[in-house]
A and B are shown apart, each in its own frame.
Chain A
């Protein structure tokens, strides 16, 4: 039922789109002025606009999804430390505290208040993974947070328009590539400044501060209503799903129970692993919430621009001290090794009530960091985030090598080679890696990185789904598990110093399939064989189809 304060839909649509376009402009400015591959190429960041209460209103369209859920929580925390009335124009706030921010230290949360006539009316916020934050080079082995790098408590990064030089010097002294990190920090503040200017223009075009606050309320209320409406249309019930994942030294267990009542939904992680004392894969509650929200948003309100109103009907619980609600100072650097399984578990649970809107497990990205020194003494630090295949859905094959649930761009080979002394030997699809199903899982990829020249480099790899492959759904089979080695020798995931000529070889997992593979139409199996996505043998064994690879002639074998 429309509330009496509801604004005219045309006004809301035009203005809401304009807020999103402002954030898209901020996004482009950041990409174009950044110095690191992790921001400029991989796009591991989000930029959002929040109202004066720290509630998110709009984000750039390619913002990394989890960050857009973390940032409103971060801003509200920061406002407890720095109440709005104590802020002055030109202040910029920062933190990377995992329990306040995005769950690990490399993500800097940088927030700029927007002032009109001396009062805060909104915030520009960015969470971005910077090239380095000090600490150990590895992804897994820290015993606590203090081994993972520099922690910046809620602080002022800019004071009334001036850089906080002491803080800049502390950061400069604690990271391996200070020019890159400080360059990105300044690029973020510059891009937010552009957003600030655009928002001020917006306010003068559309009736000033009060009209903006009314718009904010309207956007949040409309969004909340839409999410509640979509939830109401699902049957009530409680559904559980269990899965095992690689973890680090010992596997991770994820247990998810989804309860849906009326227009609310609750996700409970009771029964999942306890927090790990010897692995940096623990999740803070912010992360757990963000990754539980994401699959629900994708299924129920995919077309709505994201904002905080959509979060309101969702509650999440995980016992304190569990891997999904880890306590300070647990090690958290590679929390995605845990949080990336949440979407699989939520979809596993919700396959019953909404089979047409769930997805099989995805290969997701592996992080690779290459670090070392060029012959001229300059330090390099390159991030590559290649992806496995996406899980299949009720109507579509999984796409090959694409980001999910995170979103980002893989660093192009030519950029990698321009920045680090190595040669990418190949980067290609792996036949038969997509999980068989009526809809096939997306193919994973294999990549070889070979060290070139005279010097060595340190390669840190963060693989996943090597022991436990991405599961299929509704009768679909799992995707192919990942693998990696150095020159053919199976190695552990610890950072490795690669000598000239040595090569890291990795095979990223394929996505899971959806539905019974024997229901896949014969001609589609044949086409897959001709294109080399599926081998003749796999066509026969998994799909029950004999295909002549020369002619493409195919026939279904009787069971």
Chain B
């Protein structure tokens, strides 16, 4: 396929910044850009950044072969609760399931347990007479007359979105679809989605939660993608817009607008995919990924060069880091945990007189006090400026001047005075508290995977990640920190370094030994054909080298409640051998759980097909102008605060773009690039590899620190 590809464009809308990467696959030239996200109309930020980048690089919109987009707007809408006014329609008698949930307590010893408020308050939850049995047979027909009356009432509440969730609809979507038809007639302005399309899986609460979340974010997603597509067309881009979904796969904009919830972790997933890409090049098979942007920090795990995956994600956890305390969303995802800790996180004094940071964020507008856009609340970025980590004159490469005085004033007035301390100490407090928040989450995540942080490098990116990573790695006794080139736009890099692939699934409950191969084969072939067609739309011919079609089945012992996914080897597929498949299943089950019940029959639950192109070969040299000697890379020195020494140290500042590949120098050091600043503390040795990645190895002498809480 590479012969057909010239320019790949990736752009990722984060909570605070929108990042861009444009790569010429033939020459390996890469262009990066970063600009503020414009939450009122995210497409404006896209155009603000894209226009100048195309101009500077002399590339016309027509020349771009594929544009891939990632976003965190969807997660942020769910966390900040600024999605659509959403109503829900359930089967009569079941509207409260959304609130009742699983009835389990996620923390068994917390008397003061909180649960996230449902996205739809009870007063906007409706139900209607209709009922299917477990096989999808109609027990009670949809009461169309009363549905029209309900629609009239919904109209009075001026809702913008509506989720329809009927019991057993994943077996027979007819009632849900008919309800949608009627509601669409009655409520033409309302965006409607149905559970049999959004999350066609058994277990009504999770399906309901997922469908409601989809409805909640659909109007805003649909609108902004429409606008972006339109503007890309105006720039001359002639192909479809593709979007990254949470699993790291790619989908079309049409599908993304129908099922925005599948993109709930799209930007962050792209970041982890970029990490796997760099890791492969660097020969690092184990990394903790740490992506700290303006609003949140996300932590993922890469083992054996693979991102860990999950089939359900929770958004907006109400108890810090606690599994079960968020809204469950049933979509395949790259596994990440997310904390409300970013450059924009606001610091404040709580009622107990303690300094708290986040999860509230100043976002991009007004942003941190130092942005000088009217923000009065002190944030993490303000502290980073005061502590010397950020150069106020070189933020975003100097295109945005930071106002140090405004930062100091905010910290002074909102924190230092009420806490009775100096502004410097308060700034240091912000830095330490936000780091502690992230440390606690990171520790739990690594431990839950049964891993030891001491064996991992911390792969740091995002606008604020490289500035905070050294302290985290030091506290967790990790090997060190890796900062890829273009660390301020790594998620965007992940968009273009990932393989284009499409996932399909069809539920199909039957005993494996009763499978009719002609039927199953047709299902698999359908999915493959559909995938190859979309691939062709993305400019990749189905017969290109490296295009793969992989079939798998979710299987279980008959009577079991959960499945194991078994990839079907080509030979077995061609032989249509259910015996061989059953053997494979027993083997996988034994591998995973230590035992298998070979005397029990095997049941097929879902058929899956993945159609994919090979990952593109994107060269990685971003170093623009390596310096002739070590002095030339030095931009100067400035005082920087380091917790381990407890004082400001005069610290050399390096220009990342001029670092000499395969060179090495001791910390402390500040290394600046346009999109982010890398901080390396006194107890470190920094080396630059051939691709321009930075390794900050933490020296063993300091691994006995006791300042770790």
State the Cβ distance, B268 to closest chain A Cβ, in Å.
23
Q: What are the residues of chain A within 8 A of B110 when measuring CB–CB?
A: 298, 302
Q: What are the residues of chain A within 8 A of B123 when measuring CB–CB?
A: 530-532
State the Cβ distance, A557 to closest chain B Cβ, in Å.
24
Quick check: A186 and B597 within 8 Å, CB to CB?
yes
Q: What are the residues of chain B within 8 A of A530 when measuring CB–CB?
A: 123
Quick check: B593 and A191 within 8 Å, CB to CB?
yes
CA distance A395 to B114 in the complex (A): 11
State the Cβ distance, B698 to closest chain A Cβ, in Å.
15
A43 within 8 A of B: yes
Q: Which residue of A lies closest to B454 (CB)?
A: A14
Q: Which of B354-362, B524-532, B555-563, B683-691 contacts A (4 or more CB under 8 A)?
A: B555-563
CA distance A25 to B557 in the complex (A): 20
Q: Mark B441-465, 1 if CB is under 8 A from A, else 0.
A: 0011001111011000000000000
Q: Which interface residue of A189, A429, A448 has the most chain B CB atoms within 10 A?
A: A429
Quick check: A412 and B104 within 8 Å, CB to CB?
no
Q: Which of B198-206, B225-233, B372-380, B543-551 contacts A (4 or more CB under 8 A)?
A: B198-206
Q: Which of A226-234, A418-426, A496-504 contacts B (4 or more CB under 8 A)?
A: A418-426
Q: What are the residues of chain A within 8 A of B450 when measuring CB–CB?
A: 18, 21-22, 25, 198, 201
A20-B447, A418-B134 known; A205-B202 Cβ under 8 A = no
Q: What are the residues of chain B within 8 A of A189 when measuring CB–CB?
A: 595
Q: What are the residues of chain A within 8 A of B139 when measuring CB–CB?
A: 423
Q: What are the residues of chain B within 8 A of A24 when measuring CB–CB?
A: 448
Quick check: B561 and A179 within 8 Å, CB to CB?
no
A387-B103, A428-B95 known; A413-B121 Cβ under 8 A = no
Quick check: B562 and A14 within 8 Å, CB to CB?
no
Quick check: B203 and A412 within 8 Å, CB to CB?
yes
Quick check: A403 and B597 within 8 Å, CB to CB?
no
State the Cβ distance, A438 to closest chain B Cβ, in Å.
15
A18-B447, A180-B559, A399-B115 known; A414-B103 Cβ under 8 A = no
A298-B109, A531-B122 known; A414-B204 Cβ under 8 A = yes
Q: What are the residues of chain B within 8 A of A483 when measuring CB–CB?
A: none
A429-B96, A531-B121 known; A359-B559 Cβ under 8 A = no
Quick check: A21 and B104 within 8 Å, CB to CB?
no
State the Cβ distance, A64 to closest chain B Cβ, in Å.
8
B600 within 8 A of A: yes
Q: What are the residues of chain B within 8 A of A63 when measuring CB–CB?
A: 108
CA distance A173 to B708 in the complex (A): 57
Q: What are the residues of chain B within 8 A of A393 when measuring CB–CB?
A: 111-112
B617 within 8 A of A: no
CA distance A408 to B102 in the complex (A): 8
A179-B559, A400-B99 known; A426-B111 Cβ under 8 A = no
A20-B447, A24-B448, A198-B450 known; A426-B93 Cβ under 8 A = yes
CA distance A21 to B107 in the complex (A): 15
State the Cβ distance, A137 to closest chain B Cβ, in Å.
21
Number of A interface residues at 8 Å Cβ cutoff, please give it: 82
CA distance A469 to B595 in the complex (A): 46
Contact of A21 among B94, B108, B167, B447 (CB under 8 A): B447
Quick check: A61 and B108 within 8 Å, CB to CB?
yes
Q: What are the residues of chain B within 8 A of A404 when measuring CB–CB?
A: 105
CA distance A61 to B597 in the complex (A): 28
Q: What are the residues of chain A within 8 A of B444 when measuring CB–CB?
A: 17
Q: What are the residues of chain A within 8 A of B106 when measuring CB–CB?
A: 62
Q: What are the residues of chain B within 8 A of A29 when measuring CB–CB?
A: 592-594
A401-B100, A414-B168 known; A33-B204 Cβ under 8 A = no
Q: Which interface residue of A18, A33, A190, A429 has the most chain B CB atoms within 10 A?
A: A33
State the Cβ distance, A429 to closest chain B Cβ, in Å.
5
Quick check: B96 and A17 within 8 Å, CB to CB?
no
Q: Which residue of B lies closest to A396 (CB)?
A: B112
Q: What are the residues of chain B within 8 A of A121 when measuring CB–CB?
A: none
B589 within 8 A of A: yes
Quick check: B93 and A428 within 8 Å, CB to CB?
yes
State the Cβ distance, A18 to closest chain B Cβ, in Å.
5
Quick check: B111 and A33 within 8 Å, CB to CB?
no
Q: Which interface residue of B103, B324, B559, B562 has the most chain A CB atoms within 10 A?
A: B103
CA distance A148 to B323 in the complex (A): 38
Chain B: interface secondary structure? Answer: loop
Q: Which residue of B lies closest to A452 (CB)?
A: B133
Q: What are the residues of chain B within 8 A of A13 when measuring CB–CB?
A: 443
Contacting A at CB under 8 A, from B658-709, are 708
CA distance A405 to B168 in the complex (A): 32
CA distance A190 to B297 in the complex (A): 37
Quick check: B111 and A407 within 8 Å, CB to CB?
no
Give the interface residue-count category, chain B. Answer: 35 or more
State the Cβ distance, A307 to closest chain B Cβ, in Å.
12
A513 within 8 A of B: no
B113 within 8 A of A: yes
Quick check: B560 and A34 within 8 Å, CB to CB?
yes
B92 within 8 A of A: yes
Q: Which residue of A lies closest to B449 (CB)?
A: A21
Q: Which interface residue of B99, B448, B593, B708 has the most chain A CB atoms within 10 A?
A: B593
CA distance A280 to B93 in the complex (A): 34
CA distance A408 to B108 in the complex (A): 10
A313 within 8 A of B: no
Q: Which interface residue of B94, B111, B448, B589 has the most chain A CB atoms within 10 A?
A: B111
B97 within 8 A of A: yes
Quick check: B111 and A302 within 8 Å, CB to CB?
yes
Contacting A at CB under 8 A, from B581-595, are 589, 592-595
B468 within 8 A of A: no
Quick check: B561 and A415 within 8 Å, CB to CB?
yes
Q: Which residue of A lies closest to B596 (CB)?
A: A190
Q: What are the residues of chain B within 8 A of A402 when measuring CB–CB?
A: 103-105, 113, 115
Quick check: A33 and B560 within 8 Å, CB to CB?
yes
Q: What are the residues of chain B within 8 A of A302 when measuring CB–CB?
A: 107, 109-111
Quick check: B560 and A414 within 8 Å, CB to CB?
no
Q: What are the residues of chain B within 8 A of A396 when measuring CB–CB?
A: 112, 114
Contact of B93 among A14, A205, A425, A531 (CB under 8 A): A425
A183-B559, A412-B205 known; A18-B452 Cβ under 8 A = yes
Q: Which residue of B lies closest to A412 (CB)?
A: B203
State the Cβ distance, A435 to closest chain B Cβ, in Å.
16
CA distance A284 to B698 in the complex (A): 56
CA distance A20 to B445 in the complex (A): 12
State the Cβ distance, B604 to closest chain A Cβ, in Å.
16
State the Cβ distance, A364 to closest chain B Cβ, in Å.
11
B131 within 8 A of A: yes
State the Cβ distance, B589 to closest chain A Cβ, in Å.
7
Q: Which interface residue of B104, B108, B112, B597 has the most chain A CB atoms within 10 A?
A: B108
Q: Mark B124-153, 1 if CB is under 8 A from A, else 0.
A: 000000010110000100000000000000
Quick check: A17 and B103 within 8 Å, CB to CB?
no
| B residues in contact (CB < 8 Å) with A | 92-97, 99-100, 102-115, 121-123, 131, 133-134, 139, 167-168, 202-205, 323-324, 443-444, 447-450, 452-453, 477, 557, 559-562, 589, 592-595, 597, 600, 708
| A residues in contact (CB < 8 Å) with B | 10, 13-14, 17-18, 20-22, 24-25, 29, 31-35, 37, 40-41, 43, 61-63, 65, 179-180, 183, 186-187, 189-191, 193-194, 197-198, 201, 205, 297-299, 301-303, 306, 357, 359, 386-387, 393, 395-396, 399-404, 407-410, 412-415, 417-418, 423-429, 445, 448, 452, 530-533
A-B contact sample (12 more), CB < 8 A, given A423-B131, A423-B133, A531-B123: A17-B443, A17-B447, A43-B104, A179-B600, A189-B595, A190-B593, A403-B103, A407-B105, A415-B203, A418-B134, A429-B96, A531-B121
A/B interface sample: 23 pairs, CB < 8 A: A14-B447, A21-B447, A21-B449, A32-B561, A33-B560, A35-B559, A41-B561, A62-B104, A63-B108, A183-B559, A197-B594, A198-B450, A299-B111, A301-B109, A393-B112, A400-B100, A407-B104, A410-B102, A410-B103, A414-B134, A429-B96, A448-B93, A531-B122
Report the 8 A-B pairs with minimum CB-CB distance, sorted nearest first: A426-B93, A190-B595, A17-B447, A40-B561, A531-B122, A410-B103, A32-B562, A193-B594
